[in-house]
Amino acid sequence: MGFYEYLAPTEDIIHTVEVEVPSLIGRMKEIIRNICGADISDVLRSYDEALKLKREIIAKDTQLARIYDSINDLLERKLEPIKHTLLRGKTKRNPA
C-alpha cells in the first residue's frame, strides 16, 4: 500500500510523473546553466571582508570585556578599605 493510495487518482500521479516532473527538471537544468556562468567573485570578496570584520569586532569585544573586568577589579580593590571602614562604623553603632 503506497502513500498516495486512495488519496489521489492513479491518472493524476501518472500525469505528475510523466509531464510535470520532467518539466520541473528542465527548468532546474536551465537555472543551473544560467548560474554556472555567473561571476560571483566580487560577492565572495565582500563576504570574506565581512567575515574578517566580524572576527575583528569579536576580538575587540573580548578586549573590551577584559578592560571592564580590570576596571571592576581596580574599583573593588580601591573601595575595599572604605567598605571595611563603613562596616566597622556600622557594627559599633549597632552592636548585635
* Cα 70 from Cα 63, distance rounded (Å): 11
- Over residues 36-51, the pLDDT tens digits come to 888 889 999 999 999 9
Residues 34 and 59 in one domain: no
C-alpha cell belonging to residue 85 = 571602614
Question: Residues 10-36: pLDDT tens digits?
Answer: 888 888 899 999 999 999 999 998 888
Residues 29 and 50 in one domain: no
Do residues 2 and 16 share a domain? yes
Instruction: Tell me: do 34 and 60 sit in the same domain.
Output: no
- How many structural domains comprise the chain? 2
96 and 52 share a domain? yes
pTM (whole model) above 0.85: no
Residues 88 and 60 in one domain: yes
Interatomic CA distance for residues 67 and 65, integer angstroms? 5
Q: Compute the distance between CA of residue 76 and CA of residue 37 in angstroms, rounded to an integer.
A: 63
26 shares its domain with 7 = yes
* 49 and 93 in a common domain: yes
Assess contact for 17 and 26: CB atoms under 8 A: no
